[in-house]
Chains A and B, each alone.
Chain A
């Protein structure tokens, strides 16, 4: 039953990729000023969403671990942080590829970009910390504390474009930030696709942690 559900999630995640690409490239109109380069936007934003969501799951699982010392919660927190780092890396790399033709520079020490880079270092630090502590209990507690403290960067990244002067566009606001409704639809489809991919990857990563632990304990 469990493996059938995981198969359904995997199939849905794979199907969602061409659907999201169709919506991004064919359904959504080409942006008038930026042209075709704006097509990066759909998956750049979707990656950022998954990056934030993954750290939120790490945050919740870390709290559960500190209260219950459940190994399952520790596996969940670590898996989510690893997948979050993957999506955060995609955001950090695709951002400059969009910035260069539109702003004329690869990188700007803008509040949104800087706080996102800090988020990337928090994820990376979390995984390094887990790598270098051998004792499971100690590793779980230290990384849970970092997972909780590190999460506070997420609202700072999100609200940075409202709190400070920034060159980064703001599309997450009432009315979609002036986005054409077809572009908004394509964005939501990409968000759905990346969320499905996240769930599918999480399912595999948590299972891998469990198996690794079972083998170590034998």
Chain B
């Protein structure tokens, strides 16, 4: 791979990393948020039923 090709690949690499970061941070963040909220509510329901 010559220098020019390498520069082209590296220049585009940041866009690829950016896109994949957005995809997985958004999906992962949303899934974690849902999981935590669900766990919290399930715990609350459990406590309410014991009382």
A interface list, Cβ under 8 A from B: 35-37, 39-40, 43-44, 47, 83, 86, 89-90, 93-94, 97-98, 100-101, 197, 200-201, 204-205, 207-208, 211-212, 214-215, 218
List 14 A-B residue pairs with CB atoms under 8 Å apart, sorted by A's residue number.
Answer: A35-B9, A36-B16, A86-B26, A86-B30, A93-B22, A97-B18, A201-B30, A204-B31, A208-B37, A208-B41, A211-B42, A212-B41, A215-B44, A218-B48
From known contacts A86-B30, A101-B11, infer whether A40 and B16 are also in contact, taking CB-CB under 8 Å: yes
Total B residues in contact with A, Cβ cutoff 8 Å: 25
CA distance A214 to B42 in the complex (A): 11
Binding site secondary structure of chain A: helix
**Interchain CB contact under 8 A, B31 and A47:** no
**Interchain CB contact under 8 A, A97 and B15:** yes
From known contacts A201-B31, A215-B44, infer whether A90 and B12 are also in contact, taking CB-CB under 8 Å: no
Most buried by A among B9, B19, B37, B42: B19
Name the distance in Å between B34's Cβ and chain A's nearest Cβ: 5
Residues of B within 8 A of A100 (CB): 15
**Interchain CB contact under 8 A, A35 and B37:** no
**Interchain CB contact under 8 A, B15 and A37:** yes
Name the distance in Å between B8's Cβ and chain A's nearest Cβ: 7
Residues of A within 8 A of B41 (CB): 208, 211-212, 215
Residues of B within 8 A of A218 (CB): 48
From known contacts A97-B15, A101-B15, A204-B35, infer whether A35 and B44 are also in contact, taking CB-CB under 8 Å: no
**Interchain CB contact under 8 A, A94 and B13:** no
**Interchain CB contact under 8 A, B19 and A98:** yes
Residues of A within 8 A of B15 (CB): 37, 40, 97-98, 100-101
A94-B19, A201-B30 given. 4 additional CB < 8 A pairs?
Answer: A40-B16, A90-B22, A90-B23, A100-B15
From known contacts A89-B26, A214-B45, infer whether A43 and B20 are also in contact, taking CB-CB under 8 Å: yes
Residues of B within 8 A of A212 (CB): 41
Residues of A within 8 A of B27 (CB): 86, 90, 197
**Interchain CB contact under 8 A, B12 and A101:** yes
**Interchain CB contact under 8 A, A37 and B22:** no
From known contacts A208-B41, A211-B38, infer whether A47 and B19 are also in contact, taking CB-CB under 8 Å: no
Residues of B within 8 A of A93 (CB): 19, 22
**Interchain CB contact under 8 A, B19 and A36:** no
